[in-house]
A and B are shown apart, each in its own frame.
Chain A
Amino acid sequence: MGTTNEAGGTNRTGETPESASATVEDGSASVTEEGSELERSIGLVGGLSIGIGTMIGAGIFVFPGLAAGRAGPAAAGSFAIGAVIALLVALPASELATAMPKSGGGYYYISRALGTLPGAVVGISIWLGLVFATAFYLVSFGNYAAALLSEGGVNLAGLPIVDALALVFGVALTALNLVGTENAAKLQNYVVGLLLTILVLFLSYGSLDVLGVFGTESTPEQFMPFGPMPMFTTAALVFTSYLGFAQVATVAGDIKNPGRNLPLAMVGSVLTVAVLYVATIFVATSAFGSGPLAGFGETAIVEVARAFFGDAGALAILLGGLLATVSSANASILSTSRAVFAVSKDALLPTVASRVNLQYGTPHVALSMAGGPVLVLIALGEVEVLAEVASFLHLIMYGLMCVALIVMRRDEPEWYDPDFRVPAHRLVAGVGALASFGLIAFMQRESQIVGVAIMLGAAGWYKYYAADVKLKGVL
């Protein structure tokens, strides 16, 4: 560990890491060095709704068709594998988050435990990873909005309606975040609550139906029509649906009773969405068989709902899809801005990136650095590859978080005092790291190349801009 307690060094323009390190005073506020109080106002429900809201967009409304096409009913197994890996990472992340309840999440832990270079690589690539994920959510939103329009009889065939809707909504969300003073967190809670209600009703009915409680029992098709291997490669694809629990950690600085609420929110949101995902695949593949399901593409779940409830069901699920993709995109834009703030606070990016606009009270530069590139990506297309690149970059961060836990436990700096300690941490974090890096091996070559290129670019930026900045071992 470093010999000093202060973050040190300067970047190319002479800026130093800000050391306004807030120490937790009690569960409901922390205090800065100058003595100002920072209210912690997000409770357990708020934390869960950030986690669930970010994750649920992709797993249910985007992947069932895609995943069933690749792995058959074993896609349910792919989602279960994803959940186990997510949990193996969520536990170490929870311990690190309770020891360092700061904005920035994974970037913060990695830079403090492993040093500035890994920190910079993760911080910058997570910014881009979140941007890719947001673009992906918005395109999914476009798909649902277009489907809803055609359901309502509006015929726009031949127009690039999906991308147009995604763009329009991307602009609207960014603008809303830039000037909005409405209570976005409360709104997110309601959106997620409504969405969960729709899904639980739909999946309960669907499960009972395919199990033969009423209606006729469906004949299950072969569980692994394509063998076990596609189950693992598909797990790599659908892991995007779990890229959300760590977003809870990016707002850790605003979470009430972080020692209790952070672990509960992270683990709880993974478990909640995992159950819903597995149930969705089970119901969907039982109702249609994986072949036809794959044919429906990204709105497969809508056809499933139509099969059970007619057009009203289709409309309800379309509405759910809109809510889910919006909440995912919105939560991601918010975490992007927190991620940018955390990195620029440490002088790894120009500190102008963390400026707050006094009139609206919003971090306008960081929000633009989230929303701007998203719009460019949507306009360029190619978001499916980018979704996998987002997974790639997140998996790097997850793996390194596990390594960070092992390092932190080995060195145990004086200030390291987590409220939550992972039992058998070497085993959990070790397997978590191996699994995270292992999933990367199953990805498409193209995504791997783009991912590595981004990391190299981030490392190059660090060498050029902030090679002198020291963050390791500093709270």
Chain B
Amino acid sequence: MSENEYMPDLTVEGEPLAIREPPKVLVPIEVLEGESISESLVEFLAPAEVVLLGYHVLPDQTSTEQASLQFEDRARSAIDEIATAFRELGGEVETRVAFTHDRDATVDRVAADAAATAVLLPNPVGDVEEVVVPIRGAIDGDRLADLVATLLVGRGGSVTLWGLDIDEFDTQAAVDRVRETLTGRGLAAERIRTEVTDVDSPVRAVVDRSGEFDVIVMGEGGPGLLSSLFGDPSERVAEGAVAPVLVVRDR
């Protein structure tokens, strides 16, 4: 990844940028398993464009077509009900229904197809006040800032930019850049806190502190040996954490 991709140009001819593209959040819901999304999360996500993906995972012995014949209508009405909740709060919602043998493949495909900025990994949450953005290494500051600013500008609450210091990377600089980008997008400076911590395992550090925050916003983390063994860092965070995770997708 070249430096420019995560060290965004903050200005065009010295002027701060407004939000460049309306962020789109993909919300996958295992709809026939009775999974839903809490009202507070609906309210938090409403400023963004939302793509609601109602999916149903089938064992290999069942053809997706077979299941769709029988469950399509039920899945549709369940996902439409959730979409209504978003629309009542003025949100823009697109709904999709998918039958699959492989949840991750479906979520990845739909995210790419819909050009989603971020994917929600749901966990229960109360009112959203505190957002944390763990920053460890390369991150697409522009898209992240677009997302966080869109979600927070019109409401209360604060964001913590938390640099997780692993060697060979200037974490403080990265945190400062994201902070500047966020203020450039119109988020008041006093609502942004920053800190940098030395950690051994970023994933464990985020999981351990997840109780202090209501929503975690983080980058995908890219492929690597650990990812292929244990899954993406963001997925491991979502499994361990008590807060929902918004994963900003790599492009």
> Which segment, of B9-17, B99-107, B181-189, faces chain A?
B99-107
Q: Does A253 count as interface, using CB distance less than 8 angstroms?
A: yes
Q: List residues of chain A with CB within 8 A of the CB of B98.
A: 29, 36-39
Task: Please name the residue on chain B nearest to A35 by beta carbon.
Answer: B97
A28 and B109 within 8 A (CB): yes
Q: List residues of chain B with CB within 8 A of the CB of A38.
A: 64-65, 68, 98-100
Q: List residues of chain B with CB within 8 A of the CB of A213.
A: none
> Which segment, of A159-167, A234-242, A357-365, faces chain B?
A357-365
B63 touches which of A37, A181, A182, A254 (Cβ 8 Å): A254
| Chain B proximity mask over A416-446: 1 for CB below 8 Å, otherwise 0 | 0000000000000000000000000000000
Q: List residues of chain A with CB within 8 A of the CB of B96.
A: 35, 37
Q: Does B60 count as interface, using CB distance less than 8 angstroms?
A: yes
Scoring A38, A42, A180 by chain B CB atoms within 10 A of each residue's CB, the highest score goes to A38
B97 and A41 within 8 A (CB): no
Task: Please name the residue on chain B nearest to A102 by beta carbon.
Answer: B65
B71 and A358 within 8 A (CB): yes
How distant is A350 from chain B, measured CB to nearest CB, in Å? 14
Q: Does B223 count as interface, using CB distance less than 8 angstroms?
A: no
Q: List residues of chain A with CB within 8 A of the CB of B72.
A: 20, 32, 34, 36
B59 touches which of A103, A180, A358 (Cβ 8 Å): A180
Q: List residues of chain A with CB within 8 A of the CB of B99.
A: 36-39
B100 and A251 within 8 A (CB): no
Q: Does A112 count as interface, using CB distance less than 8 angstroms?
A: no
CA distance A240 to B5 in the complex (A): 58
CA distance A11 to B77 in the complex (A): 30
Take A28-B105, A36-B75, A41-B101 as given contacts and tell me if A361 and B60 are in contact as well, using a CB distance cutoff of 8 Å. no
| Chain A proximity mask over B80-99: 1 for CB below 8 Å, otherwise 0 | 00000000000000001111
Q: A1-45: which residues lie under 8 A (CB-CB) from chain B?
A: 18, 20, 22, 28-29, 32, 34-39, 41-42
Q: Does A367 count as interface, using CB distance less than 8 angstroms?
A: yes
How distant is B146 from chain A, measured CB to nearest CB, in Å? 27
Q: B26-73: which residues lie under 8 A (CB-CB) from chain A?
A: 32, 56-73
Q: Does B205 count as interface, using CB distance less than 8 angstroms?
A: no
Q: A166-216: which residues lie under 8 A (CB-CB) from chain B?
A: 177, 180-185
A185 touches which of B60, B69, B109 (Cβ 8 Å): B60
Q: A253-267: which residues lie under 8 A (CB-CB) from chain B?
A: 253-254
Q: List residues of chain A with CB within 8 A of the CB of B57.
A: 361
Question: Is the contact region of chain A dominated by helix, strand, or loop, or is it mixed?
Answer: loop
Q: List residues of chain A with CB within 8 A of the CB of B70.
A: 354-356
Q: List residues of chain B with CB within 8 A of the CB of A360.
A: 59
Task: Please name the residue on chain B nearest to A22 by beta carbon.
Answer: B65
B101 and A32 within 8 A (CB): no
How distant is A249 from chain B, measured CB to nearest CB, in Å? 13
CA distance A375 to B101 in the complex (A): 29
Q: List residues of chain B with CB within 8 A of the CB of A338.
A: 63
CA distance A18 to B96 in the complex (A): 22
Q: Does B153 count as interface, using CB distance less than 8 angstroms?
A: no
Q: Does A345 count as interface, using CB distance less than 8 angstroms?
A: yes
| Chain B proximity mask over A356-382: 1 for CB below 8 Å, otherwise 0 | 101011110001000000000000000
B71 and A334 within 8 A (CB): no
B66 and A41 within 8 A (CB): no
The contact size tier of chain A is 35 or more
CA distance A185 to B101 in the complex (A): 10
B64 touches which of A39, A181, A337, A362 (Cβ 8 Å): A39
CA distance A394 to B100 in the complex (A): 30
B105 and A41 within 8 A (CB): yes
Q: List residues of chain A with CB within 8 A of the CB of B64.
A: 38-39, 253-254
A354 and B100 within 8 A (CB): no
A363 touches which of B61, B71, B73 (Cβ 8 Å): B61
Q: List residues of chain A with CB within 8 A of the CB of B32.
A: 358
Take A41-B100, A361-B58 as given contacts and tell me if A20 and B68 are in contact as well, using a CB distance cutoff of 8 Å. yes
Take A20-B65, A38-B65 as given contacts and tell me if A356 and B71 are in contact as well, using a CB distance cutoff of 8 Å. yes
Task: Please name the residue on chain A nearest to B99 by beta carbon.
Answer: A38
B65 touches which of A34, A103, A334 (Cβ 8 Å): A103
Q: A85-115: which residues lie under 8 A (CB-CB) from chain B?
A: 102-103
Q: Does A341 count as interface, using CB distance less than 8 angstroms?
A: yes
How distant is A332 from chain B, measured CB to nearest CB, in Å? 12
A334 touches which of B58, B61, B69, B102 (Cβ 8 Å): B61
B67 touches which of A28, A185, A337, A356 (Cβ 8 Å): A356
A36 and B61 within 8 A (CB): no
Take A28-B105, A39-B98, A360-B59 as given contacts and tell me if A341 and B67 are in contact as well, using a CB distance cutoff of 8 Å. no
Q: Does B204 count as interface, using CB distance less than 8 angstroms?
A: no
B68 and A180 within 8 A (CB): no
Scoring A36, A184, A363 by chain B CB atoms within 10 A of each residue's CB, the highest score goes to A36
Task: Please name the residue on chain B nearest to A177 by beta carbon.
Answer: B61
Q: List residues of chain B with CB within 8 A of the CB of A180.
A: 59, 61
Q: Does B76 count as interface, using CB distance less than 8 angstroms?
A: yes
Q: List residues of chain A with CB within 8 A of the CB of B63.
A: 103, 251, 253-254, 338, 341
B60 and A20 within 8 A (CB): no
Q: A301-335: which residues lie under 8 A (CB-CB) from chain B?
A: 334
How distant is A340 from chain B, measured CB to nearest CB, in Å? 10
CA distance A251 to B73 in the complex (A): 24
Scoring B59, B71, B106 by chain A CB atoms within 10 A of each residue's CB, the highest score goes to B59
How distant is B61 from chain A, measured CB to nearest CB, in Å? 5
Q: Does B120 count as interface, using CB distance less than 8 angstroms?
A: no
Q: List residues of chain B with CB within 8 A of the CB of A28.
A: 105, 109
Complex A-B: 27 CB contacts under 8 Å: A20-B69, A34-B73, A34-B76, A35-B96, A36-B75, A36-B97, A36-B98, A37-B97, A37-B98, A37-B99, A37-B106, A37-B110, A39-B64, A39-B98, A39-B105, A41-B100, A41-B101, A103-B63, A181-B59, A184-B61, A185-B60, A253-B63, A341-B63, A356-B70, A361-B58, A362-B61, A367-B61
If A180-B61, A356-B66, A360-B59 are given as contacts, then 10 extra A-B residue pairs at C-beta distance below 8 Å, sorted by A number, are A28-B109, A37-B99, A39-B64, A103-B63, A184-B59, A253-B64, A253-B65, A334-B61, A362-B59, A363-B62
Q: Which of B's residues lie within 8 Å of A, judged by CB?
A: 32, 56-73, 75-76, 96-102, 105-106, 109-110
